[in-house]
Amino acid sequence: MAVFKYLFNSIEGVLAEDLKNIVEHSLSKKEGGLVMTLAEKLRMEGREEGEIIGIEKGEIIGIEKGEIIGIEKGEVIGRIQLYHEILGEIVPSKEKLSLNSIEILRDMLKEIEKRWMNVAS
């Protein structure tokens, strides 16, 4: 029991290999195996908790990026529709345009801006 108190009180800065050596030299094989099994269980629980935290942070980042892309997509779609209206062309629906990626929408906007510049000059 004294070994456990020592380990828990001085664990900071101690490497896993050092702990393994302490356990192997201080406890019987059976007790040492139990401690190592417990350590492995704690390691797995820590890994699982880390994965959960990582997934949650990833979801938050994904949502934030999605919102930014969605806002940009809405702005580009609005500009495409406006240029079509100004040029007297059939205005594509927001639903139809939103099926395209932001990259394609940017290309569409550049193309219609070029057409507008040719008409305006």
Total domains present in the chain: 1
Contacts 24+ apart (CB under 8 A), 2-5: 3/27
The tens digit of pLDDT for each residue in 49-80 reads 989 999 999 999 999 999 999 999 999 999 99
The amino acid occupying position 44 is: M
Confidence (pLDDT) at 6: 59
Domain coverage including residue 64? 2-120
DSSP symbols for 55-116: HHHHHHHHHHHHHHHHHHHHHHHHHHHHHHHHTTPPPPPHHHHHTS-HHHHHHHHHHHHHHH
Confidence (pLDDT) at 14: 59
What value does the mean pLDDT take over residues 5-14? 58
